[in-house]
Amino acid sequence: MKPIEQAPFLTEMRLSAANMYRLGWDERNGGNISLLIDREQAAEYLDLNQSLRTIPLGFYAPELAGKIFLVTGTGKYFKNVADDPETNLGVIRVAPNGRDAELLWGYRDGGRFTSELPAHFMSHRARLAVDAGNRVIMHCHPTHTLAMNYVHPLEDKAFTHTLWKMCTECIVVFPDGVGVLPWMLCGTNEIGEATAKKMADYRLVVWGMHGIYGAGKTMDETFGLIETVEKAAQIYMLTAHLPRVNTITDPQLRELAEFFGVNYRKDFLDE
């Protein structure tokens, strides 16, 4: 069995967490990541025939029974993930009953997975139903995206349309748009259900006055989705109070999307 420190899934989690903290997206213990790991890959680094302990999930996820995830820990600081992954991360397998998690590695100090796990798992279920290749759910608090929540209508079309107009690349990177939720109490099944409903149509979901959820096939793809939204939101916040002299028009957005062959939300354009 190979040392888990050499596992690609652990490396990409460590690097992503470090980058997210460096960019100011995950202050203190804000934010969380979950990564679906292939059973065959997990077996190269972990003994799948035994678990360290069982942790109640707090909700019912029979569709995910047997699936293995690498998940950030509750109360853990992203700045510490790279240097001490075994304390700040855990590899869990959803038990056959769909109600418990079997800890295979990590949470060395007796900790447990993020309190947002219900939202993560509900989003995993939603995205896997759309695309079986989706294996990452990433939540963070990007500064400018969060600031934009306070000065812009929190509605899917309006929010997406504004972001698309901020950078030429936006409609190409997230042609499916951005789903937006009003403020809701975090850490509950209710916000998880609302997020999962949006995830059926979007890979990006903004939590009003809180942060953003992203989904993707790889850490890089998911990070890049959020990174692009954050750049667009930053440009918006830098220019929203100034006279608009130039802009990307809707016909130009359409031309971009069609040139790059992306399946964009045509109903999100006004012209």
Could you list the active site residues? 116
Burial class (CB in 10 A: 0-12, 13-18, 19+), 144: middle
| Distance of alpha carbon 118 from alpha carbon 107, whole angstroms | 18
212 φ/ψ angles, rounded to the nearest 5 degrees: -145, 150
Burial class (CB in 10 A: 0-12, 13-18, 19+), 20: buried
